[in-house]
Amino acid sequence: MTKTLIRNAVIMTMNAKGEIIQGDVLVENNRIASVGGSVPSVQADTVIDANGKVLLPGFVQTHIHLCQTLFRGRADDLELIDWLRQRIWPLEAAHNADSVYYSAMLGIGELLRSGTTTILDMETVHHTESAFQAIQESGIRAISGKVMMDHGTEVPAPLQEKTAKSLEDSVQLLEKWNGAADGRIQYAFCPRFVVSCTEELLTGVRDLSEQYNVRVHTHASENQDEIAIVESERGLRNVIYLDRIGLARPNLILAHSIWLDEEERRIIRERGVKVTHCPGSNLKLASGVAQVPELLRDGVPVGIGADGAPCNNNLDMFQEMRLTAFMQKVKHGPTVMDARTVLRMATMGGAEVLGMEKEIGSVEVGKLADLQLLDLEDFHVYPSFDADWYSRVVYAATRGDVDTVMVDGRIVMRGRMMTTIDKSYVLREADRTLRNLLSRL
């Protein structure tokens, strides 16, 4: 058994009582064995002195597209449908196995380095194997799947799938990757959005997700033009349509869900559907302001995700937390969401969206050891005297304050040094594979 001892941290547990305690955390193999108090260091293989540092659960981002990281800065200043048709789909169509791998590595490097330890990810139509490879090697915890699209206009030929083949390819990936790396990797069916999917594909996903007991991850009601397309083709509002065909169930995770009416909010609440909020993406694509306080009041689990690099343009939970709070304050007033509520969304809230609230999202004995240490000894996060820790972390801290990150008991960054990813190699290969990809456009 390997033991890691983190000594003398300020531990923001994010447990139900909201406890913040000073002391040690002992990790045995991939699980948290003790929280608080003092553990004799002679027991441990690795000892990390966390004096003056803050220990938090790793962030859980519930909507990411690793395959799009390579497209950062290549689709700025557009609305969703133009953004997809003019830029993102042609770029995804030009991917090969090599470019998906380095796109994923670039994204995972950014995520781990900024404290995110778990992601719900949506890949592109092809080469998803490469993304899983990068997930496996890097050590991040991920639920991912190939995107499915068998319908729609202005879709480049390489992304147009036959319904049966899309389902078959998904099942093949599922059988290989679901539960891989000792359960650190899981599979989710990822129909892109109703605009890209026939009813036959969606009902096929419904049945297979039940058969294999896995999640369904899709975009829904992000943009008003998207909703108009769904209404004109299916005759119903987006979420009502998803419910009518039997997809609105507890294993369904919807990204964005900005434009919901009362009936759709009722469906989400009553069917146990989960929602991901993507504030940076919603602002940059001018999609709108999601009904986050309303959903939380309804008891709906809401997580936070950066979405893809080309609509954000970072994958940084610190920025997303800040935007989550600030966006709602402008709409509803300054008291609507406080720092503690937002930090909960970024940790336990995300865990609930994934149905993993018993495994991740807080620093508690028995949970998986997905942790981050922040070094707050800097001008921008001082003073520390009598500090409100939630305020300090959510409103003042930034990604550069993340000092050490552990996923599944394995240290992936220590003292800002990445241990599973060769940063300069990945940066160089990202540029090389992008140059080749652009020549295939």
Residues that bind Fe ion (CB under 5 A): 307
- Pick 77 or 182: Cβ nearer ligand GUN: 77
Smallest separation (angstroms) from ligand GUN to the CB of 338: 27
Pick from 267, 311, 374, 397: which binds ligand GUN (CB under 6 A)? 311
219 binds ligand GUN (CB under 6 A): yes
Smallest separation (angstroms) from ligand GUN to the CB of 79: 11
284 binds ligand GUN (CB under 6 A): no
Q: Which stretch binds ligand GUN (CB under 6 A): 80-88, 152-160, 332-340, 343-351?
A: 80-88
CA–CA dist 312, 314 (Å, integer): 5
Q: Which stretch binds ligand GUN (CB under 6 A): 131-139, 174-182, 306-314, 319-327?
A: 306-314
**What mask of x and - would describe binding to ligand GUN in positions 343 to 382, judged by CB under 6 A?**
----------------------------------------
Residue 192 interaction partner, one of ligand GUN, Fe ion, none, beta carbon < 5-8 Å per kind:
ligand GUN
CA–CA dist 73, 430 (Å, integer): 14
Residue 310 interaction partner, one of ligand GUN, Fe ion, none, beta carbon < 5-8 Å per kind:
none
Pick from 116, 281, 341, 433: which binds ligand GUN (CB under 6 A)? 281
Smallest separation (angstroms) from ligand GUN to the CB of 305: 10
215 binds ligand GUN (CB under 6 A): no
- Pick 216 or 311: Cβ nearer ligand GUN: 311
121 binds ligand GUN (CB under 6 A): no
Q: Which stretch binds ligand GUN (CB under 6 A): 108-116, 159-167, 303-311, 316-324?
A: 303-311
Closest to 360 in 3D by CA, of 14, 4, 11: 14
The pair of three-digit structure tokens given for residue 66, joined into one six-digit string? 């690793």
65 binds ligand GUN (CB under 6 A): yes
CA–CA dist 300, 320 (Å, integer): 19
Point out which residues bind ligand GUN (CB under 6 A).
Answer: 65, 80, 84, 88, 192-193, 219, 222, 281, 307-308, 311
